[in-house]
Amino acid sequence: MLAGLFCLNLQAQEPCQTMPLLHKHIQENPMVKQAMERAENENYEWRKSGAHHPDRVVYTIPTVVHVLYTNATENISNAQIMSQLEILNQDYRRMNPDTGNTRSIFSGLAADVGIEFCLATTDPDGNPTTGITRTPGNPGLLGFYDPFTDNAKSNSLGGKDPWPSDKYLNIWVCPLFPVVLGYAQFPWDDPVTDGVVIGYTAFGTMGTVTAPYDGGRTTVHEVGHWLGLRHIWGDGDCTATDSVIDTPNADAASNGDCDTSKNTCVDTLLNDAPDMVENYMDYSQDNCMNMFTQGQKDRMLFYLNTWRASLLTSEGCSLLPTSHYETLAEKILLYPNPALENVHISIPRELGAPHQIRVFDVQGKEVNMALKGQNELVLERGDHPAGIYFVQIHTARGSITRKVLFSGK
């Protein structure tokens, strides 16, 4: 028992436990390694053929969030959950307010992945659902859920059984060991324990989140693993690879910094580009991350259309339009745009009153603008300078980000 805890403490120095968990599964079951090699070979042959998935297709993944808690603080709010869904939809559609922070050397590589996430509206039995489950958990003596026993994913181990992983993305939000932010399973791993686990202090952008992991990017990172992406440095030195051609090699993770001067490997394919610390699959802080590459997009869409293809016919979001995010964009009106002074925001009553409206400038910094009204609102520019701003609108039926241009006075 003590030896197991000692091993876990060593592994826990990694904020993302995805790779240690994969190695454990390979040791326990040689079939996992065989499946991984088959998956990677299929992906290699697909890339070698020059195939690409159509850019204009938008895929929607039904998602269920399982909240496990031992006290009221860990029982996070619906608004906090919605804030995470908003970040997932922004970042996987390249609609995040901080796209302007992508360095010019990489801006041409940045991709709209074309994947959206909806909280499930239909449960496995066909009944209406909020897409959120709440369970008083029993993680054990230490009070934290353990990546190496995966006890968050099992009723019998004090957690919550998953919904069918061929129909839903399961995300568990729970107390994890300190330093650990989250972990996920790759598409080729055991479907019985498939899904993503995130610590409640790193999920979403409000409530219980703790800086510097308070921007929702931990979940973006872990869902990237769930869709087949590896860490951008290939979990090795300059000879390692993440199997994506347009991500520069690096000899290590960024270790939480945002050092744009780092160039740890000579990279001939990309004209010796610096380390891509702004990539979601590095270990940078949330306010540094802002992009996936086209190559990462191709890899994720390959796995979504092959090893995770059953999700594309799931009825988990059958009560929503095919592209829920784009439908919200059509229903929520902002006008005039461009505007000189004030912007009117019209939200249909069917979407409910907004939980929260936030405004950000092009650097991703939150801006304090006066807001009046409920479903018919007025956003007052005040003394803020002319320029582009991003308005995040969180409603009871979903969240959306719209771009607004204030012209010169």
Residue 319 confidence (pLDDT): 67
Q: Can you give the pLDDT at residue 56?
A: 59
Measured CA to CA, the distance from residue 18 to residue 24 in angstroms comes to 10
The single residue of 86, 116, 222, 278 carrying the catalytic annotation is 222
Instruction: Give residue 7's pLDDT.
Output: 45
Domain-ending residue, one of 330, 346, 374: 330
Gap between the Cα atoms of 341 and 379, Å rounded: 9
Q: Are residues 273 and 337 in the same domain?
A: no
pTM here?
A: 0.80
What are the CA-CA distances from residue 226 to residues 117, 221, 348 (Å)? 13, 9, 35
| All residues at 6 or more sequence positions from 382 whose CB lies less than 8 Å from its CB, including other chains | 369, 370
CA 150 – CA 159 distance, rounded (Å): 9
65 and 145 in a single domain? The answer is: yes
Residue 322 pLDDT:
47
- What per-residue confidence (pLDDT) applies to 131? 93
339/244 same-domain check: no
pLDDT of residue 326: 58
CATH assignment of the domain containing 401:
2.60.40.10
Together in a domain, 398 and 314: no
Predicted pLDDT of residue 358: 82
371 and 250 within one domain: no
Length of the chain in residues, anyone? 409
pLDDT of residue 47: 82
Q: Calculate the CA dihedral of residues 152, 87, 84, 157 and round it to 10 degrees.
A: 0
What pLDDT does 55 receive?
Answer: 63
> Residue 89 to residues 166, 256, 401: CA-CA distances in angstroms?
21, 23, 9
CA 114 to chain centre: 13
CATH number at residue 111: 3.40.390.10
Number of domains in the chain: 2
Domain range for 370 is 332-406
Report CA torsion sign: 248, 85, 350, 346: negative
Q: What is the pLDDT along the chain (409 residues), one digit of tens a residue?
A: 433 443 444 354 689 999 999 999 999 999 999 999 999 999 999 888 877 666 657 899 999 999 999 999 999 999 899 999 999 999 999 999 999 999 999 999 999 999 999 999 899 999 889 899 999 999 988 899 999 999 999 999 999 999 999 999 999 999 998 899 999 999 999 999 999 999 999 999 999 999 999 999 999 999 999 999 999 999 999 999 999 999 999 999 998 889 999 999 998 777 889 999 999 999 999 999 999 999 999 999 999 999 999 999 999 987 655 455 556 767 888 889 888 999 999 888 777 665 578 888 766 677 888 888 777 889 999 999 988 888 888 776 667 777 788 887 6
Residue type, 371: L
Domain co-membership, 60 together with 82? yes
Place of tokens 């959206």: 116
Please tell me the distance from the alpha carbon of residue 172 to that of residue 119, in angstroms, as a whole number: 13
Residue 155's CB is within 10 A of a number of other CB atoms, namely 9
User: H-helix or E-strand containing 42?
Assistant: helix 30-48
Respond yes or no: is residue 14 known to be catalytic: no
Residues 169 and 246 in one domain: yes
Cα–chain center distance at 120: 16
DSSP conformation letters of 252-289:
S--TT---TT---S--TTTTSPPP-TTBTTS---TTT-
Residues 320 and 339 in one domain: no
Instruction: Report DSSP letters for 281-292, one per residue.
Output: TS---TTT--B-
Which tokens is 237 given?
Answer: 């030195």
Answer whether 287's CB lies under 8 Å from 209's CB.
no
As given in the structure block, the two tokens for residue 109 are: 């590589």
Picking from 383, 6, 47, 22, the residue whose alpha carbon sits closest to that of residue 235 is 22
Q: Please indicate, yes or no, whether residues 225 and 161 belong to a single structural domain of this protein.
A: yes
The pLDDT score that the predictor gives to residue 58 is 85
Check whether residue 346 and residue 297 sit in a common domain. no
Q: Which of these three, 290, 315, 330, is where a domain ends?
A: 330
* Whether residues 255 and 110 fall in one domain: yes
Q: Which residues contact 218 (CB under 8 A, 6 or more apart)?
A: 181, 182, 198, 199, 202, 203, 286
Q: What SS3 state is found at 349?
A: helix
Final residue of a structural domain among 330, 347, 365: 330
**Do 307 and 363 belong together in one domain?**
no
d(CA 135, CA 155) in angstroms, rounded, equals: 9
